[in-house]
Structure 1
Amino acid sequence: MAQEMKIEIVKKETIKPSSPTPHNLRSFKLSLLDQLSPVAYGPLVLFYPNNVSEVTLTEERSHQLKKSLSEALTRFYPLAGRIKDNLFIECNDEGAVYVEARVNALLSNFLDQPNLEILKLLLPIKVESPEAATGCLLLVQASFFECGGLAIGVCMSHKLADASTLSTFIKVWAATALGLGHTVVPDFSAATRYPPRDFSAQSPAAAMEMKIVKRVTKRFVFDGPKMRALKAKVTSGSVQRPTRVEAVTGLIWNCARKASKLSSGISKLSMVSQSVNIRKRVVPRLPQTSIGNLVGYYTAMAEESGIELNSMELVSRLRKGMVEFNEIHSKRLQGDIVFEAICEYFKEIENIMRRDDINLFICTSLCNFGIYEIDFGWGKPIWVNIPFDILKNFASLIDTKEGDGVDAWISLSEEDMALFERDPELLAFASLNPNVFGPVTRRSSL
């Protein structure tokens, strides 16, 4: 089935803001955190069934998407501009890219067992494209299935946007389609808190780089009942109420550690790096609608000391890392030494990634962002996912539709994945690429 599915690009357009950007807003400064962010696009694909009483014409839905996108760009005007010299965005209203595509299959066929390679074709550009640094900052692809189902793929440059920014924009775009776009006011003050630096004389050595290596990426789903069992398993005196993200990250980390040790025959220091939204952790707090890369990272370590570590202990170390970040590192992201603190952190991560004696695992989460509430006027999405697979030893987590589980794409080396996907501890709580619908009967409109 997956090999026969074809996606045909029907048209490609430039969508400009519905109103021109005022002259005094034509230059938008990047923050220091934006400057040091990797050159890549942040992706998201939302799937909507055709659940209207009468089939809405493709042309009508496409027109509504483009019209509301144009109006949303007026409020998020930097997204219609272009980055210059990694210092600022020239807000010249060049616009965003809108791609319309047709899929020669039913949405239910794809959701039976999602195929990552096809999922990536539902995005308007490759995630690793260098265009993220100098080209279009926002690209959208609307892919219409034969049944009337719709996939909306969004790519937003990581040079301006973190996961929170991406979700905030899509929510405003959808609200605009419903005539409610004015209810959210984006905040553009990040560069005031974290002023940019001129790196024209030399490349910012501290900037994160996306080093693409050979890897295998597979999807694992932790549903609600299994999630509750997993949280009970990793509960301890130090972590009495583990979060879903902590529980899943601890289990994935433990199983990946074991797989790496078995496949290589070498015991390495193992570390995990977890992204953290700093908006509510710095003082004074930043608005949740702040636009930019307002993300910090904390690390947890598992040394090979002869003591066998389990998932419960690793969750304790994850919680300790988060507590230390909140108590120590978040304070360094404010005050007079913010530049030194930020660059020091990026250099530390860069050095860790270059070391052969450390096995670094990176985890990012889009859980608890309310993604499944995004409604453009045709109901809420049936599935949302993050087709990001350009790094090895990487996991991207997102909510399941019910909100009580986790849907994860995990990338490992081929040798490690062969052991990881057969780990009994993992399979006690996770299913390998299950049907999105679960045990329920599929709807004919899919």
Structure 2
Amino acid sequence: MATIEIGIIAKESIKPSSPTPIQLKTFNLSLLDQLAPATYIPLLLFYTTSDHTAAAGRRLQLKKSLSETLTRFHPFAGRIKDNSSIDCNDDGASFTEAQVSCLLSDILKAPDHEVLKQLLPINCEAFLEGRGCVLHVQANYFKCGGIGLGICLSHKIADAATLSTFIRSWANTASGIGQKVCPIFNTVSITPPRDISMTPPALENLKIRDDKSVTKRFVFNGSKIAALKTKAPSMSVKQATKVETVAALIWKCAMKASRTNFGSSSRLSALYQNVNIRNRTVPPLPNDSVGNFIGSFIARAEDAEAELHGLVAELRKGIEEFCKKAKRLPLSEDISVICEPQMEALRMLTSDDMDLYACTSWCRFPLYEAADFGWGKPIWVSSGIPPAKNMVFLMDTKGGDGIESWVRLSQEDMKLFECDQELLAYASLNPSIASY
């Protein structure tokens, strides 16, 4: 099921319910925001409802609550002016309504990356899309009454934690359950903007942007992860986390596929891992701080024979070293802990002698719990749109003990990766959402 028919019902701008005060009309981006790529962060939320009579009410509820939420998140209703500011002009968030030709169950039987992209309001794989409107929403209505919300938020002002905060605030407003979330706009005070000569990392110009790549979904259930974790301990890591364990296995199997295709058992490999720095800096930052509070580290596979426990140890060493550096002094005094891994990754991407993989984990964000708009928690949450080759995305399964992964590799590497017996001993290839 590579294509579906989607008919656009309506398209409008949802403006804040109250105008933005004149003193807040210009929102300055921080240095961390300036360094973020000009892309959008995608999110898909799926809900099973069969009450067609309530459809009109749900549509009104979504729009009204979004308008009220934008009053608190006023930059999200503005326009990206340049790489230094957002014009908070209250032009509004783009809101599209679409009728989908199939049943929601057709999507959930075997989720397809190419199909999911069609349920988003914009093309999140296009870097030039990251300018202009800050927030795009598409409400997809299925024949069965099910709803799929596709949300794209500009990376110039938000990371995954910010997106999670926004969804929680919008859902709380829509359902009337829980406290209203008040975002904290403090990025400029943490990392003041600069007149930087280097534009944000231009991944679109690098070889990682390979159109001949394939994205596939693998699900690790809780019992399989528990079994895998028994193989992860080492002298330096007594007890691995589930993210470390799953990331290490995916890295190992991807590395194995690449080395086989290159005909070199010693080809260098590294994994670039994103880190939420809110609780790792001096001083720590509130969880509801809005902006790009993202750091990173690079783990390396130094040995030709890369074993799971060794890769886990490298991941643990990377995060521990990052945390030590992040706690040395305020970010406003030294941004090198953020910039240096980014620059090193860019250098690695231009090398023909090694593979660099990038891993992003959303396992810490309780999106299933937070995204109840008044008609129940989502049956499935996904952001399975890795924008480039050699990227890995991890998210908790609905029960919380498993991990759903989306992996994007070259066609040649994916042919070997998806058949790797060590991987398939712990992961299921694209199972139905109903099966876990």
- Candidates 226, 240, 243, aligned match of 1:242: 240
Q: What pairs up with 1:259-408 in 2 under 5 angstroms? A: 259-266=257-264, 267-304=266-303, 306=304, 308-331=305-328, 334-338=331-335, 340-373=336-369, 374-408=371-405
| Residue aligned with 2:44, SS | strand
- Name the counterpart of 1:126: 123
- The residue that corresponds to 1:443 in the other structure is none
- State the identity as a percent: 51
- SS of 1:392's partner is coil
Q: 170, 174, 183: which one pairs with 1:173?
A: 170
Distance 1:327 1:3 in 2: 46
- The question of whether the paired residues in 2 share the 8 Å contact of 1:219 and 1:432 is answered with yes
Match of 2:61 among 64, 67, 70: 64
Shift, 1:90, TM fit: 1.0
Q: CA deviation at 1:208?
A: 4.8
Instruction: Tell me which residue corresponds to 1:86.
Output: 83
Closer, same or farther in 2 for the Cα pair 1:236/1:303, shift >3 Å?
A: closer
Native 8 Å contact 2:34 2:200 kept in 1: no
Equivalent positions of 1:1-20 (< 5 A) are 2-3=1-2, 5-20=4-19
Give the distance between the partners of 2:408 and 2:327, measured in 1 at CA.
Answer: 29
Specify every segment of 5 or more residues in structure 2 that has no aligned partner in the other structure, as ranges.
none
Look up the match of 1:35: 34
Give the alignment's TM-score, normalised by structure 1: 0.93
Q: Which residue of 2 aligns with 1:207?
A: 201
Which of 210, 225, 228 aligns to 2:226? It is 228
CA–CA separation in structure 2 for the residues paired with 1:333 and 1:417: 42
Q: Is contact 2:298–2:341 with CA below 8 Å preserved after alignment? A: no
Instruction: Tell me the CA shift for residue 277 of structure 1.
Output: 0.2
* 1:87-139 CA-partner distances (Å, limit 9, x unpaired): 11111111100111111221112111111111111100010334544311100
The normalised TM-score by structure 2 is 0.95
Corresponding letter in the other structure for 2:119: L
**Shift of the alpha carbon at 1:38?**
0.8
Match for 2:320: what amino acid? V
Shift of residue 333 of structure 1?
5.8
**Letter of the 1:421 counterpart:** E
Conserved? CA contact 2:123–2:129, under 8 Å: no
Change (3 A) 1:265 1:11: same
RMSD: 1.7
Contact 1:333 1:342 in 2 (8 A): no
Q: Tell me, what secondary structure is at the counterpart of 2:95? A: strand
Letter in 1 for 2:17: S
Alpha-carbon distance, 1:209 to partner? 2.5
> C-alpha separation between the residues in 2 aligned to 1:344 and 1:241?
29
| Paired residues of 1:32 and 1:196 also in contact (CA < 8 A) | yes
Cα distance, 1:337 vs structure 2: 2.6
| Contact 1:132/1:158 (8 A) holds in 2 | no
Runs (4+) off by over 4 Å: none
Corresponding pairs, count: 430
Task: Answer yes or no: is the 8 Å Cα contact 1:372–1:380 preserved in 2.
Answer: yes
Partner of 2:254: 256
Q: Deviations over 1:378-426 (max 9, x none)?
A: 0001111113132111101111011000001100111111111111110
One-letter identity of the residue aligned with 2:390: N
Which residue identity is paired with 2:94?
Answer: V
Q: CA deviation at 1:235?
A: 2.7
